Amino acid sequence: MKKKIVHIITRFINGGAEENTLITCNYSAKKGDKVYLVTGKEIDKEIISKLNSKIKVIKINNLIREIDFIKDLKAMYKIFKFLKFINPDIVHTHESKAGAIGRLAAFFSKTKIIIHTVHILPFLNVNFLKKVFYIFIERSLSKITNKYICVSQGMLKESLKYNVGFKKQYQIVHSGFNIKKFKNAIKNLKILKKNNINRKAKIILMLGAFEERKRHVQLIKVFLRLTKIHNNIVLLLVGSGKLFHKIKKNVNELRLSKKILFTGFKNDPENYIALSDICLMYSIREGLPRVVPQYISGGKPVITSDLPGINEIIKNNVNGYIVDMFKPNELYSKLNLLLLDSKILKKLSLGAKKTNTSKWSIDQMPIKIDQIYCKLLK
């Protein structure tokens, strides 16, 4: 069955939601479906170049992450007109803002099937007023959503906990990546040399965009304390984003530029994981980011904040530690323990290598999503 599918996402940069959308779009286009990608003005040239040439990209300049009612209405009207014109079989939205605007535009244009992927819940760990507002919006939108795709069991549980739709509307499809690439990666000494890292240094790695919710600032404060008792340690921050230069300036002011290294965005995260001794995910809001199973696939112990879905892969004292994101002393304590005790570090590394990450296979994800499309169109 050939389908006409429109994906709507707030921005198309280097990130988990964007990677999922890219994989899904390319799979559908390869199958012969007519695929359109509607996105805002934040577009990364490198990731957009990976799209199948048959996919048509529609840029909506007023589609932005921030709440701006005038721009939001303009964006919704443009998407509505586009959907009216092409009359798609399916509208599949991603991320909170595009999820709200896109689903409303699809509803008013009388699109048959409306799907939303829950990559992240907007009402997690925000102030009370925002929480009430976001829950109201999501509950209202659930009435026009045919199917929710959750990236983790935790996302599903949290959504139902706040009465966003009904269980029958939900299906779990884990984010996909090339598992073999991470399992087979080996330590590349050229990267150490390029970044002036001592071969004997203990490397703490965090992959992720430089955004407030990723909490680089809080991590750096913890790392600063660790440098007082550990000489030969390095914090390697891989990623790009709006706060990149601000945080780098902060590190320079703290005179930590030789201890905290910034690589920018890298297309080969598996090589940086292979170099590291300990991997981190310290975000305040996530779904179940693919970076965590990527760390585990690379055989590295992970210290992560306690977010919905994380316990699907991280088991305390087996392959890592789950810490309270609002208690920096917990992060400090676990990092210090692994830096001091090589036996525990080795035990957790072995636990990571033994962890089954097959449900995050890049081959499974788009197939499962296509099956959802076909079932809804019957």
Model pLDDT, residue 161: 93
Q: pLDDT over 70 for what percent of the chain?
A: 100
Q: Which fold has domain 4-176+362-377?
A: Rossmann fold (3.40.50)
Strands (E), the chain: 4-9, 34-39, 56-59, 90-94, 113-118, 147-150, 170-172, 202-207, 233-238, 260-264, 278-281, 302-305, 320-323
Question: pLDDT-based confidence at 286, cuts 50/70/90?
Answer: confident
Question: pLDDT-based confidence at 269, cuts 50/70/90?
Answer: very high
Question: What residues contact 193, with CB distance under 8 A and at least 6 apart?
Answer: none
Question: pLDDT-based confidence at 123, cuts 50/70/90?
Answer: confident
Tokens of 187: 């330590």
End-to-end CA gap in the chain? 10
Model pLDDT, residue 121: 84
Q: Which amino acid is at 1?
A: M
Q: Which fold has domain 179-358?
A: Rossmann fold (3.40.50)
Q: What is the pLDDT of residues 224-242, one digit of tens each?
A: 999 999 999 999 999 998 9
Q: What is the pLDDT of residues 291-349, one digit of tens each?
A: 999 999 999 999 999 988 899 999 999 999 999 999 999 999 999 999 999 999 999 99
> What is the domain partition of the chain in residue ranges?
4-176+362-377, 179-358
Question: Would you give the DSSP letter of residue 51?
Answer: S
Over the chain, what is the mean pLDDT? 95
To the nearest 10 degrees (0 to 180), the angle between helices 69-86 and 96-108 is 50
Rounded Cα distance between 217 and 222, Å, is: 9
Rounded Cα distance between 79 and 92, Å, is: 13
Tell me whether domains 4-176+362-377 and 179-358 share a fold.
yes
Rounded Cα distance between 298 and 8, Å, is: 32
pLDDT surpasses 90 at 120: no
Tell me which residue of 50, 46, 74, 80 sits closest to 61, measured CA to CA.
74
Contact predicate 327/306, CB 8 Å: no
Question: pLDDT-based confidence at 146, cuts 50/70/90?
Answer: very high
Question: What residues contact 305, with CB distance under 8 A and at least 6 apart?
Answer: 215, 281, 282, 283, 284, 322, 323, 324, 325
Section 17-34 average pLDDT: 96
Model pLDDT, residue 1: 77
Question: pLDDT-based confidence at 289, cuts 50/70/90?
Answer: confident
Model pLDDT, residue 124: 77
* Residue 56: C-alpha distances to residues 6, 29, 190 (Å): 10, 10, 39
In the chain, what are the helix, strand and coil shares in percent, each to the nearest 5? 45, 20, 35
Question: pLDDT-based confidence at 74, cuts 50/70/90?
Answer: very high
pLDDT surpasses 80 at 287: no
pLDDT surpasses 80 at 87: yes
* Residue 88: C-alpha distances to residues 5, 83, 112, 259 (Å): 6, 7, 8, 52
Model pLDDT, residue 116: 98
Q: What is the pLDDT of residues 239-266, one digit of tens each?
A: 998 999 999 999 999 999 999 999 999 9
φ, ψ for residue 115, nearest 5 deg: -120, 140
